[in-house]
Amino acid sequence: MGDCESMAPQLEGEENLIAAAKHIVRALGSNKNLTKDVKKILADLGSQLSTMATIDDEGVEGLKSGIEEHLSVVEEKIMSWETDESMIWDSGPDEAFEYLSAVDEARKLIQGLENRCLNGEDEKELLRRAHDVLQLAMQRLEEEFKYLLVQHRQPFEPEHMSFRSSEDDGVDVGSMVSFGDESFEESARRDSVSRTSEECIIDLVHPDVIHDLKCIANSMFMSNYDHECRQAYVIVRKDALDECLFDLEIEKFSIEDVLKMEWGTLNSKIKRWVRAMKVFVRRYLASEKWLCDQIFSELGSANFVCFVEAAKAPMLQLLNFAEAISIGPHQPEKLVRFLDMYEVLADLLLDIDALFPDEAGSSVKVEYHEVLKRLADSVRATLVEFKNAVATNTSTNPFAGGGIHHLTRYVMNYLRLLVDYKDTLNLLLKNDGSVPVLLSPDSSPSTEDESTSNDFSGGVSAMTLHLQSLTSILEANLHEKSKLYRDASLQHFFLMNNIHYMAQKVKNSELRVIFGDKWIRKHNWKFQQHAMDYERATWSTVLSFLKDESNSSNSSISRTLLKERLRSFYVAFEEVYRMQTAWLIPDVQLREDLRISTSLKVIQAYRTFVGRQMYHIGEKHIRYNADEMQDYLLDLFEGSQKSLHNPHRR
């Protein structure tokens, strides 16, 4: 074909030269003053030029014949596969090479013919035939291209593919209707996928066929069938990306579907989405980009365009789910899931910007940034809703037994979960949300030092202020709930239990880093103060009967008064026993400490009174000895009401 191309302009140059010479000869021959010899020379020259023109015409005809013969050979090679149902690339490398060579020849024939001045119908017909042959070849290459992509696709097996086995779609992470569900802490715990497992590039198509795919793509692009090649790639790879989402158990939902879901089901879907998002972006999309680069690296921006067109729909499917979550109700139980979704999107922000850097990927990138901002707004809105819910949680009846209220358990367990999101919350609470916050993948918890609750400027961190505000709201609510008890001692008992629980939750968890030791000391003092107030309100009246205020202990009136006081003491003690065995201190150490403190006061006063007044009262009026009294005091605060039935009771 190279000889044919070089011959055409050469013949055209010779034709022009002969025509010019013949014109000169005719001009000279018209001069009447020429001698016979000169006229003879010009006549001979004209004859020779005419002979040369005749020979040239025969050469052009020969060239046309050669092109037609060459085209027929190429056409035969390409047409031979039109009746063959087998795939060319399954027939071996030699057949594939020959076919691509035939396609290359057809393209060169077209170029050669288009470079000539096609005046004759024969030449135009040759060009039409060549275009038809090339079009057939392109259709076949498109089929072969798709076939290789599909047939040699490698299975994608993410480590965390089977999520459903470890999840219960019906799990609820608690609600403001039933505060304090202890399962909240477990079921709402954040999920994590190790970054190392996400960043591995995998071969989505077998490496052995990458060269073949590249050759087909190059051939189609050189033949101006680049659109068809890109379209074929996008169709196949988009199906593969959809299948990847299916393997990751990501379903397609409309915004309406998401808004109608029960929270238990939605919670499970969000957990699965968070896990899948990292795997899909860091492993699958990164590998997809690598595949595009391998196939289209020599073809300008085709690699980027193909990647974006294939990845856009699956990415928007994932983002649409996150958007639906963000515009739904901002119930407090959703906060942890909002934070999970925000963190995974913030963590992947640099990956997305790298995968979709140019204008072609701007729609994905813009939507991604917008969803990230909406989730940030949802986090802040949910925190406000949570504060309001705690502040407005009301009770019509006192909490049975004066134990730890469901609200207290819920709020403190809730705050413990938020510690895992300390960095994110600090930034979101002091950031207006106009600029997405980037999280460092190497972020790690601070050491347990009170100073860690400070921000970089040395002031108290935004999260510390927010959580301390929440506990203040909780305490105010608990004080209101304590007023539902008619018994003042039970009011203090209830507050002692709940504030002790708050202090212990902070002291024995990562919350200590946020609240600091000063807060813990303050609340230790508070619950101890309520413990003393409880003892004073409960036992001051009971022990007042054991005070000996008689000035004439030998008189019969004094003996009667002493017996009456002792009897009143027993009645009061038995009433306290009956009531306060039903009261509950869930914390074992606090229960033991209060029993010991109570016992020291009661038993010492009882022993002193009985020891001093035994002679005047008489042994028959003593219902319990000191050891029995002490044993009875050990029955207090177990949450199971009991009554004393002493056979010696008078």
Domain extent at residue 214? 62-154+202-223
pLDDT one-digit tens code per residue, 614-647:
777 778 888 898 899 999 999 999 888 888 765 4
Kindly give, in sequence order, each residue whose CB lies less than 8 Å from that of residue 238, ignoring residues fewer than 6 positions away: 309, 310, 313, 314
Position 500, amino acid = H
550 or 351: whose pLDDT is higher?
351
Query: Looking at the structure, do residues 251 and 213 belong to the same domain, yes or no?
Result: no
C-alpha 376 chain-centroid distance: 13
Instruction: Look at residue 279 and tell me whether its pLDDT is greater than 90.
Output: yes
Q: Is 522 in the same domain as 601?
A: no
Residue finishing a domain among 194, 223, 252: 223
Lowest-confidence range among 44-48, 330-334, 454-458, 599-603? 454-458
Across 95-105, average pLDDT: 89
How wide is the angle at C-alpha 343 spanned by C-alphas 341 and 347, nearest 5°?
120
Does 367 share its domain with 420? Answer: no
Average pLDDT, stretch 230-256? 92
- Under the banding of pLDDT at 50, 70 and 90, the label for residue 2 is very low
Instruction: Tell me which DSSP letter residue 550 carries.
Output: -
Amino acid making up residue 543: L
Contact residues for 324 (Cβ-Cβ < 8 A; gap 6+): 253, 254, 255, 257, 258, 259
pTM for this entry: 0.75
Q: Read off the pLDDT of each residue in 464-469 and give the average, rounded to a whole number.
A: 93
| pLDDT, tens digit, 9 for 90 and up, residues 155-192 | 877 654 443 333 443 333 444 444 544 444 444 555 54
Q: Is the pLDDT of residue 341 over 90?
A: yes
516 shares a domain with 405:
yes
Token pair of 342 as six digits: 């925000």
- Residue-level pLDDT at 159: 56
What mean pLDDT is predicted for residues 534-554?
Answer: 78
Which of 309, 341, 375 lies at the terminal end of a domain, its last residue? 375
**Quick check: is 584 in a domain?**
yes
Check residue 31 and give its pLDDT. Answer: 60
- DSSP conformational letter for 182: T
Q: Is the residue at 443 inside a domain?
A: no
Question: Considering the domain boundaries, does residue 37 fall inside one?
Answer: no
Does the pLDDT value for residue 596 go beyond 90?
A: yes
Most confident of the following: 105-109, 432-436, 572-576: 572-576
Q: What is residue 592's predicted lDDT score, i.e. its pLDDT?
A: 94
Torsion of CA 137, 138, 139, 140, to 10 degrees: 50
* Structural domain contains residue 162: no
Count of structural domains within the chain: 4
More confident residue, 191 or 421: 421
Residues 503 and 412 in one domain: yes
pLDDT of 566 above 80: yes
Domain-embedded: residue 449: no
- Give yes or no: residues 207 and 85 share one domain: yes
What's the confidence (pLDDT) of residue 469? Answer: 94
The predicted pLDDT at position 645 comes to 64
Specify the length of the chain in residues. 650
Query: CA-based Rg of the chain, rounded to a whole angstrom?
Result: 46
**Residue 618, φ and ψ in degrees, nearest 5:** 95, 140
Indicate whether 352 and 304 sit together in one domain: yes
Is the confidence at residue 10, as pLDDT, over 60?
A: no
The answer on 419 and 476 residing in a single domain is yes
Instruction: Report residue 261's pLDDT band, with 50, 70 and 90 as the boundaries.
Output: very high
Helix (H, G, I), strand (E, B) or coil at 483: coil
Mean pLDDT of 576-604: 93
Percent over 90 (pLDDT), the chain:
51
Q: Rounded to whole angstroms, what are the CA distances from 583 to 331, 570, 572, 615, 641?
A: 33, 20, 16, 37, 8
For residues 510 and 126, give the distance between their C-alpha atoms in angstroms, rounded to a whole number: 82
Pick left, alpha or beta for residue 624 (phi over 0 → left; psi -120 to 50 → alpha; otherwise beta). Answer: beta
In a domain, 271, yes or no: yes
266 confidence band (pLDDT: 50, 70, 90): very high
114-122 average pLDDT score: 64
User: Are the beta carbons of 6 and 58 closer than 8 angstroms?
Assistant: no
Q: Which two tokens stand for residue 530?
A: 């309520």
Question: Using CA atoms, how far apart are residues 383 and 482, in angstroms rounded to an integer?
Answer: 26
Angle made by CA atoms 375, 314, 138, in degrees to the nearest 5: 155
Which whole number is the average pLDDT over 148-152? 94
Predicted pLDDT at 361:
83
Residue 266 and residue 324: Cα distance in Å, rounded? 11
Does residue 515 share a domain with residue 424?
A: yes
Instruction: Read off the pLDDT of residues 125-141 as tens digits, 9 standing for 90 and up.
Output: 778 888 888 889 899 99
Together in a domain, 232 and 321: yes
Per-residue pLDDT averaged across 193-216, rounded? Answer: 78
Residue 20 placed within a domain: no
Residue 122 token pair: 């024969």
**Residues of the chain by 3-state class (helix, strand, coil), percent to 5:** 75, 0, 25
Per-position DSSP letters for 492-533, written without gaps between them: HHHHHHHHHHHHHHHHTSTHHHHHHHHHHHHHHHHHHHHHHH
Task: Please give the single-letter amino acid code of residue 235.
Answer: I
pLDDT at position 64 is 58
- Residue 329, Cα to own-chain centre: how many angstroms? 19
| Distance between start and end Cα atoms, the chain | 130
How far is the C-alpha of 272 from the C-alpha of 249, rounded, in Å?
7
Q: What are phi and psi of 499, to 5 degrees?
A: -70, -35
398 domain-assigned: yes
**638: Cα separation from own chain's centroid:** 45
- The answer to whether 586 and 403 have CB atoms below 8 angstroms apart is yes
**Structural contact between residues 208 and 357, judged by C-beta atoms closer than 8 angstroms:** no
Q: HSE on the CB side for 309, CA within 13 Å?
A: 17
366 pLDDT more than 60: yes
**Spatial separation of the C-alpha atoms in residues 123 and 114, rounded to whole Å:** 10
Let me know whether 507 and 595 are in one domain. no
Lowest mean pLDDT among 5-9, 85-89, 396-400: 5-9
Separation CA 340–CA 346 (nearest Å):
10
Q: Are residues 124 and 214 in the same domain?
A: yes
